Structure 1
Amino acid sequence: MFRRREPVPFAFLAEADKFRSNVTPPPRERASFGQLAGRWLLGLTIVAGLVGSLVLGMPALSQDQSATQTQESQASQGH
């Protein structure tokens, strides 16, 4: 760490970067059964929505083989 060149009027400001608190925070409150169930339900809903959109979107993203074959055959018949 670098030292400050200008004088600091208060000693606690100069040593603020070295200060560590000896006060421990209170323990975290345990989640109730309803909160845990709600979190699981929300997570499952999000996952189900993603899977559902993937299942519904895959046919739209795939190439239709019969449509491309009929277009190719029509183009070859014209020549």
Structure 2
Amino acid sequence: MFRRREPVPFAFVAEADRFRGNVAPPPRERASFGQLAGRSLLGLTILAGLVGSLVLGMPALSTDTHTPAQQSQASQGR
């Protein structure tokens, strides 16, 4: 099998991590009023959906212990 005799220089990989170019990225554009309003409206819609599902789902998740007692009282009254 072919074997390399000289060591492979990996120094360039270490130097590449430290390299800092003199080219700065362009500044970010500021979001317009419409974009900010849309983002906040989307966030409020998602939040309202989560709260609504929690409000509607809590009665289904709760254990109802009062129902058997009311049924037994109705059956005893007959």
TM-score (norm 1): 0.68
% identical equivalent positions: 73
Deviations, residues 6-50 of structure 1 (Å, cap 9, x unaligned): 247xxxx82323311111101000000000000000000000000
State how far apart, in whole Å, the 1-side matches of 2:18 and 2:46 are: 45
The aligned length equals: 66
State how far apart, in whole Å, the 2-side matches of 1:24 and 1:7 are: 30
SS at match of 1:45: helix
RMSD over aligned CA atoms reads 2.5
What's the counterpart of residue 22 of structure 1? 22
**Unaligned 5+ residue runs, structure 1?**
74-79
What's the counterpart of residue 64 of structure 2? 64
Task: For CA contacts below 8 A with separation 6 or more, give which structure has more relative contact order.
Answer: 1
State how far apart, in whole Å, the 1-side matches of 2:45 and 2:31 are: 20
Cα 1:70–1:21 change in 2 (3 A) is same
**Unaligned 5+ residue runs, structure 2?**
1-6, 73-78
Residue type at the aligned position of 1:65:
T
